[in-house]
A and B are shown apart, each in its own frame.
Chain A
Amino acid sequence: MSEFIGDWHALVVLLVAGFLPNEVWRMLGLWLGGGLDEGSEILVWVRAVATAILAGVIAQILVLPPGALASVPGPLRYGAVAVGLVVFIVARRSILLGVLAGEATMLIGKWALG
């Protein structure tokens, strides 16, 4: 069991830095939600910041890659994602085709580099 969960300290960190920061916004939305218009300006800003933070997370994984992804050279990581994005756009916003193209680019590139 201890190997499955890890130490209790890690679970406390999950509660403090993971569960509570998310749940607080959901519950605020539940308690205060009635009075806000979905199209209000503050929510437009919130949505833009949320999108940009998500973009930052994507960039972080690509620029400072974790684990096995670090074995793939930087230009190949960026190139694979760029190919995925181009195929996504060309294939009329198909997430499936974009993801497959990006993955194929990385695997073929890695194989070609040896």
Chain B
Amino acid sequence: MSDGFTQFTGLMALPALDSPIWQSPAAAFRQGLRAVATTILTAVLFATYLGIGALAHDTHFSLGWVLASTFFVWAGPAQIILISTLGSGATVAQAAIAVTVSAIRLFPMVVAVLPMMRTPTTKKRHLILPAHFIAVTLWVECFRLFPMVPRERRIPFTLGLGCGLVSVCLVANVVGFQLAANLPQSLGAAILLLTPLAFLLSTARNCRELADVVALGLGLALFPLVSLLHTGVDILISGVSAGTIAYGVHLWRKRR
């Protein structure tokens, strides 16, 4: 995959940093939109949001509701937690707590990415919309693409990239919702399986340290045990426990 990945990105190279194309913000926005086509992560997002559309259908949410959730929430794991906890009978407060904790990971992403698009003249309000678009995909892509984008054009570039990715996911939601409504059961099940598969593999791909692997493996193993307790916040309990143990592994390795 990594070879195909570089070939693919090589095909759609961005203009040189001193190219006149970067002189207009509108052109930078268009370059951001075009960059959506240069990443394998777009395909992963499409598969994930296809699954979310199908999940929403099978848990009796409306198409408009799931589209609104993609537009306003814009975080796949949060949307899945929201749909699956509400769908399994949790209260709104329980769902809100689980989603809030899962969303903490957005904080370090925003902290890491925004300084890269700031210039001395940038106001905080210019960064509100770029901050809304930040989720794991945009975070990864900003690190990859920003070195090829002039600093003063990174905000419109990010907005283009964000709008492009959201549009792809809205289309995927519609397709997934309609497929779940019309496909025979075994194919509908295949679409629902896309979400855990795509999440598992893209998270595994991001694992850099032993602690990441422990967090992923232990998180998978602990949930089935914790779910026997039926607390309504099972995901929270298993996630905080497994994550803290993984952090302990990180500390232990650092000390040695």
Residues on A lying within 8 angstroms of B by beta carbon are: 3-6, 10-11, 13-34, 36, 38, 43-69, 71-72, 77, 80-81, 84-85, 88, 91-99, 102-103, 106-107, 110-111
Q: Which residues of B contact A29 (CB under 8 A)?
A: 106-111, 114, 131, 134
Q: Which residues of A contact B16 (CB under 8 A)?
A: none
Tell me which residues from 203 to 227 in chain B have a Cβ below 8 Å from any Cβ of chain A.
203-205, 211-212, 214-224, 227
Residue A64 contacts which of B47, B108, B227, B244 (CB distance < 8 angstroms)?
A: B227
- Residue-wise, chain B 104-147 has the 8 Å CB interface mask toward A (1 for contact) of 11111111101100000000100110011010000000000000
Nearest residue (CB) in A for B183 is A68
Given contacts A68-B58, A81-B200, contact A25 B227 (CB under 8 A): no
- A30 to B69 Cα, complex, angstroms: 22
Given contacts A17-B82, A26-B110, contact A67 B188 (CB under 8 A): yes
Given contacts A29-B108, A67-B188, A68-B180, contact A60 B55 (CB under 8 A): no
Task: Name the segment of B27-35, B83-91, B152-160 touching the other chain.
Answer: B83-91
**A interface secondary structure, majority:** helix
Residue B198 contacts which of A24, A48, A99 (CB distance < 8 angstroms)?
A: A99
A46 touches B192 (CB 8 A): no
- A62 to B103 Cα, complex, angstroms: 21
Residues on B lying within 8 angstroms of A by beta carbon are: 1-2, 40, 43-44, 47, 54-55, 57-59, 61-65, 68-69, 72-75, 77-82, 84, 86-88, 92, 95-96, 99-112, 114-115, 124, 127-128, 131-132, 134, 180, 185-205, 211-212, 214-224, 227, 234-236, 238-244, 246-247, 250
B68 touches A52 (CB 8 A): no
For B75, B193, B194, B235, the residue with the greatest tally of chain A CB atoms inside 10 Å of its CB is B193
Q: Which residues of A contact B192 (CB under 8 A)?
A: 61, 65-69
Nearest residue (CB) in A for B221 is A59
Sample 9 A-B pairs with CB under 8 A, ordered by A number.
A11-B65, A14-B73, A26-B134, A29-B109, A52-B246, A54-B239, A57-B81, A68-B186, A93-B204
**B interface secondary structure, majority:** helix
A22 touches B74 (CB 8 A): yes
Residue A93 contacts which of B1, B47, B68, B187 (CB distance < 8 angstroms)?
A: B1
Nearest residue (CB) in B for A6 is B62
- A77 to B62 Cα, complex, angstroms: 27
- A15 to B99 Cα, complex, angstroms: 12
Residue B78 contacts which of A22, A30, A58, A102 (CB distance < 8 angstroms)?
A: A22
B108 touches A46 (CB 8 A): yes
Q: Which residues of A contact B104 (CB under 8 A)?
A: 25, 46, 49-50
B250 touches A44 (CB 8 A): yes
- A70 to B39 Cα, complex, angstroms: 33
B114 touches A93 (CB 8 A): no
Given contacts A47-B108, A52-B215, contact A102 B77 (CB under 8 A): no
Residue B199 contacts which of A57, A67, A97 (CB distance < 8 angstroms)?
A: A57
B1 touches A69 (CB 8 A): no
B99 touches A21 (CB 8 A): yes
Nearest residue (CB) in B for A3 is B62
- A95 to B131 Cα, complex, angstroms: 27
Q: Which residues of B contact A93 (CB under 8 A)?
A: 1-2, 204-205
Given contacts A47-B108, A50-B243, A68-B188, contact A103 B194 (CB under 8 A): yes
